[in-house]
Chain A
Amino acid sequence: MATDQVTAAFAKSLGLPESDITEHLAYGSIKEWDSTAHMVLIAELEDVFDVMLDTDDIIDMSSVAKAREILRKYDIKC
């Protein structure tokens, strides 16, 4: 199975190994995922999935699981 793209995008943006990216990992729960990293993450997800996320999405993206839910809204399989 190919590497999960959402996990990979989180790992890259937050500077963490993929093994640290769990579904329940939450915004602000670790110092690596602060507001600065959040913007890097958004840009990365937009790039990887070729999607334009709006401001509501950014505020709602409070965990890895939530990120998948938001991406699915744009018909992205993840």
Chain B
Amino acid sequence: MNLIEQPPYGLSHNEKAPRLLHELKALTEHHRQACPAYARVLSAEGQWESSDANDLAQLPWLTVPLFKQRELRSIPDDAVFKVLTSSGTTGSVPSRIFLDNDTAKRQSQVLVRIMQEWLGKQRRPMLIWDHPSVIQNRASFSARGAGIQGLSFLGRHHTYALHDDMTLNLEAIRTFHKRFAGTPVFMFGFTFMVWRYGLQALQAQEIHLPFEDAVLLHSGGWKKLEAEAVSARIFNETARNQLGNLSVHNFYGMVEQVGSIFVACEHGHLHCPSYADILVREPGSWRVLPHQQAGVLQVLSVLPTSYPGHSLLTEDRGRILGEDDCPCGRTGKYFEALGRMAKVEARGCSDTFENAGGSQ
């Protein structure tokens, strides 16, 4: 059975690990055949010539900046359904992620399956802590646009809480509140946007709009918030203070692996769903680190068939906290994200792969 057909948090390590390895090896072979640029990177790295990996740590990976430097795709021109772009933090060239119909569909399916765990199956009225122009060009979305677009599937009566100039659209928010305060609602935004332009703005204007049953999902780094000494606890308390009975869940995900998201449970632990996994590597040696030790996050996903993004070394740091034993009861690895790597480390790791691909 394929992992994609499994519930998101129901497989133990022994059930998941062999299937995941099998599917990721098959994806590696698929992309090696279908994407010459990917095959060149692997063969330049010698040890990745063979496909006899017997655990996840031995699978080849790409670094995220490679998607800026090369056009990496495993589909012909006429199969391109959508191109996702992300500028990231380094350089001005955006990553380009090529999606065909199948991959896009799989991403939506998995996203919905994961989110049903946190929101239920009903589509709730949705308040988006962003401005509407973030979704403009339908054929080419920014990371922010793609995130909002993907999650819109889960809501109804989509309402944008901000104006284009990032000020509160109080009329829209109040109308939404008046209509839906007593019913289950869904709120979504990027962590920093929700904080700076949503919660802080409400707080400054002393506006309280209590909802009876809201779920706030937010994604994106804490770095900017940490600089302001805003912890998850302060964020969540402020959210409840301004907006009533909210359950707040951060999630971690990348535009290079849309659909594979890691949602924080009620204990604040980010959880790997059945379709994805995490490894932590030591910068420099790139060996896999044991649980509890902080290093660079590698994300694995069974979703991408249209581009070779099933195994990626991120530029983010984190550490695995445990597996199958989170007090929330969900199975799988759980971890915390610790922000971006230092620039020096990041450069070291993209250099490795510049060299790796240099023989083409």
Could you tell me which A residues sit within 8 Å of B by CB distance?
Answer: 27-29, 31, 34-36, 38-39, 43, 46, 52-56, 58-59, 62
Contacts and interface: CB of A to CB of B under 8 A. Distances in A.
B122 A54 contact: yes
A28 to B, nearest CB: 4
A52 B149 contact: no
B149 A36 contact: yes
Nearest to A60: B109
Contacts, number: 51
Nearest to B152: A39
Contact of B154 (A38, A52, A55): A55
B135 A54 contact: no
Nearest to B82: A34
A27 B116 contact: no
A59 B111 CA distance: 10
B101 A29 contact: yes
B153 interface: yes
Interface of B: 81-82, 101, 104-105, 108-109, 112, 115-116, 119, 121-123, 135, 138-139, 149-150, 152-154, 156, 158
A39 B153 contact: yes
A36 B138 contact: yes
A27 B156 CA distance: 20
Contacts of A53: 123
B105 A58 contact: no
A27 B105 contact: yes
Given A34-B82, A36-B149, A39-B153, A54 B104 contact: no
A35 B81 CA distance: 11
Contact of A55 (B104, B116, B149): B116
Contacts of A58: 112, 123, 153
B104 A28 contact: yes
A56 B135 contact: no
A55 B105 contact: no
Contact of B123 (A29, A38, A55): A55
Contact of B135 (A28, A36, A38): A36
A-B residue pairs, 8 tightest by C-beta = A28-B101, A54-B121, A55-B112, A59-B112, A36-B138, A59-B109, A55-B121, A58-B153
Most B C-beta atoms less than 10 A away, residue of A35, A46, A59, A62: A35
A52 B122 contact: yes
A52 B121 contact: no
A59 B108 contact: yes
B108 A35 contact: yes
Most A C-beta atoms less than 10 A away, residue of B116, B123, B139, B150: B123
Nearest to A27: B105
